[in-house]
Amino acid sequence: MTALLGRHPNLSEQDYHADQALGNSSLRKLLKSPAHFMYGESVNTRSTEDGSIIHKAILEPDKFDETFVIATSDDIRRGTKAWDALIEYGNGRVPIKPSQADVARRMRDAAHSDPSIRGILRKFNPEVSYFADTGLGFRVKARFDIDDSPVPEYDFDLKSVTSLAKWEAHAEDYGYNTAVYHYPFVKSLVTGQPMKKMAFIAIEKEAPYVCQIFQPDDAVLSKGEADARRAYEIYAECLRKNEWPKPRAKVTPYGLPKWVKFDE
């Protein structure tokens, strides 16, 4: 596949992920260790699939039925003859279970009925991919859920979460805090325009599907930039040396689990 550069509004999700440019999800792995980046990490395929279904329902509802074919029952399992028949019937559409479609549609309705979020979704470009050369010996990439939003100076990413109350930990654990720098940085390299800001639309995955818009504060922005830049430096150094080291073993004291009761 040819190394991509520039803005690509119609690139499929599969082709985006197949490109070897450095994306935000890789920054978290590099910060853990270059070896973790090189060997990758296990991917929760069901969670990834659910995310794609939810994104399509909320961001491109008019394309939902042409993208997915819905099984008649949740009891139809992947790998069975019934599932294979569904694939054949779908004629290129992705098979999903009715419960997945139902949740996605309920989340869509929750998002589009919220006045603040409806205002963001009234006019934007969905799922736009950007690729840029950093000049450091590698390319970077970013895929915007909500590109060129009607909110001045902001683009948005859509996230489905188990609990809005745990957003801060969730954002740090899953690398969203580097995204607030990485995404605008990549787009700025492509467009030549000043970096815009990044915010998140988060929706809980269970009823009543509460929505929230999260805007990173100055501490998140500063740490996100520092972490992203450090990951770029690590990646450039590893490419230069062709070495992908893992953390060295160290002596670490440990104690009893908190739930163990023991009186000396």
Number of domains in the chain: 1
Alpha-carbon distance of 152 to 32, in angstroms, equals: 35
Specify the CATH number for the domain of residue 120.
Answer: 3.90.320.10
State the average pLDDT over residues 27-56.
Answer: 86
Domain membership of residue 17 as a residue range: 6-43+99-241
Alpha-carbon distance of 158 to 138, in angstroms, equals: 27
Q: Which of 111, 91, 101 is CA-nearest to residue 159?
A: 111
User: pLDDT per residue over 156-166, tens digit each?
Assistant: 999 999 999 99
Q: Quick check: is 23 in a domain?
A: yes
pLDDT value of residue 3: 87
Alpha-carbon distance of 180 to 227, in angstroms, equals: 11
Main-chain dihedrals φ then ψ at residue 213, nearest 5 degrees: -110, 120
Per the CB < 8 A criterion, the answer to whether 58 and 107 are in contact is yes
Q: Quick check: is 73 in a domain?
A: no
Least confident of 13-17, 47-51, 155-159, 199-203: 47-51
Q: Quick check: is 32 in a domain?
A: yes
Q: Which two tokens stand for residue 234?
A: 């690590």
Tell me 199's DSSP state: E
Beta strands in 105-195 (DSSP E): 125-133, 139-147, 154-161
pTM recorded for the entire structure: 0.90
Q: Quick check: is 26 in a domain?
A: yes
User: pLDDT per residue over 114-168, tens digit each?
Assistant: 999 999 999 999 999 999 999 999 999 999 999 999 998 899 999 999 999 999 9
Cis omega (within 30 of 0) on the bond before 216?
A: no
Q: Quick check: is 219 in a domain?
A: yes
User: What is the pLDDT confidence band of residue 1, given thresholds at 50, 70 and 90?
Assistant: low
Alpha-carbon distance of 121 to 43, in angstroms, equals: 29
Q: Quick check: is 55 in a domain?
A: no
Alpha-carbon distance of 57 to 53, in angstroms, equals: 6
pLDDT value of residue 48: 81
Indicate the residue type of 69.
V
Q: Is the pLDDT of residue 15 over 60?
A: yes
Q: Quick check: is 21 in a domain?
A: yes
Q: Quick check: is 74 in a domain?
A: no
